[in-house]
Structure 1
Amino acid sequence: MKVFLDANILVSVLNKEFPLFNHTARILSLAGQSHFHFYTSPICLAIAFYFASKKVSESKAKEKIFLLCKHVSIADADQRGVEKALSNKKINDLEDGFEYYAAERVDCSVILTENKEDFYFSEIEVLNSSEFIANKI
């Protein structure tokens, strides 16, 4: 199963934000199993880096992102995806549109986010971390 990780999932893991961390860390621990393949985008990594660097130093935040990238693949936000996001009249927040089309490009079957309402336009299944644990593990 290919799962796209939204920035808020990454932030919760990098910053150990409780109580969400209990779910998100458990989910990311599945990265080594062949049944799950996790993706994120450069935009999500940049957002996660920003919030991690506010909690720890920039160098420590880079180390955390580097470690994370060993377990998560990067879904590119290419020109076609950007154009789709810009032309989709249902999408109000371009960041979410870019993330959505990055997930679509690599055939993710789930978008994992704590802000499900951000992906109201999604044709890909959208779950929060507790729903993912209950329904997919």
Structure 2
Amino acid sequence: MKIFLDANVLISVLNKEYPLFPISSRVLSLSDRSGMQLYSSPICLAIAFYFSEKKSGTDMAKLKIEMLSKKISMTAVDQATCNQTLSNRQVQDFENGLEYYSALGSDCEVIVTEDSDGFYYSKIPVLGCEDFLKEYIF
């Protein structure tokens, strides 16, 4: 299964943000499970780095991002992704649109985010960490 992780999930893991951290870290641990492939976009990684750097400093944030990038694959954000986002009149949040179309471009089957309302136009399931675990893992 190909799973796209939104920036808010990555941030909660990198910054150990409670109460989400125990659940989001469990989602991230799925990278070690056979048949599970975790994806995110370079944009999500940049956003996660920004918030990690604010909390932990530049060197620690780089180390955290390096460790994280070994667990997940990157989706592409290119001209086609931008064009798809811009041409979909339902997309109000440009960044979410880029994430959505990059996830589709990598054949992701689900988006895991704590902002599921931001992906109201999605043709694939969009779930919070807890709901994702309940529906697909437990």
TM range (shorter): over 0.9
Q: Distance in 2 between matches of 1:77 and 1:101?
A: 8
1:129 aligns with 2:129: yes
Counterpart mapping for 1:5-84 below 5 A: 5-84=5-84
For residues 81-108 of structure 1, give each alpha carbon's deviation from its aligned partner in whole angstroms, at most 9, with x where no partner exists: 1101011100011100000000000100
Residue 91 of structure 1 aligns with which residue? 91
Query: 1:11 & 1:47 partners in 2: Cα distance?
Result: 8
CA distance in 2, matches of 1:28, 1:54: 22
Give the gaps of 5 or more residues in structure 2: none
Which stretches in structure 1 are left out of the alignment for 5+ residues? none
What amino acid does structure 2 have at the position aligned with 1:59? D
Structure 1 segments (4+ residues) deviating >4 Å: none
The separation in 2 between residues aligned to 1:6 and 1:23, in whole angstroms, is 14
Q: Secondary structure at the match of 2:126?
A: strand
Root mean square deviation of aligned Cα = 0.6
User: What's the counterpart of residue 113 of structure 1?
Assistant: 113
Q: Hey, what's the Cα distance between the residues in 1 that align with 2:37 and 2:75?
A: 12
Work out the CA distance in 1 between the residues paired with 2:6 and 2:22.
17
Identity %: 50
TM-score by length of structure 1 reads 0.98
TM-score relative to the length of structure 2:
0.97
The total of aligned residue pairs comes to: 137
Counterpart-to-counterpart distance in 2, 1:34 and 1:82? 32
CA displacement, residues 46-100 of structure 1 (integer Å, 9 cap, x when unaligned): 1000000110111110110000000100001121111010111000111000000
**1:124 Cα shift?**
1.2
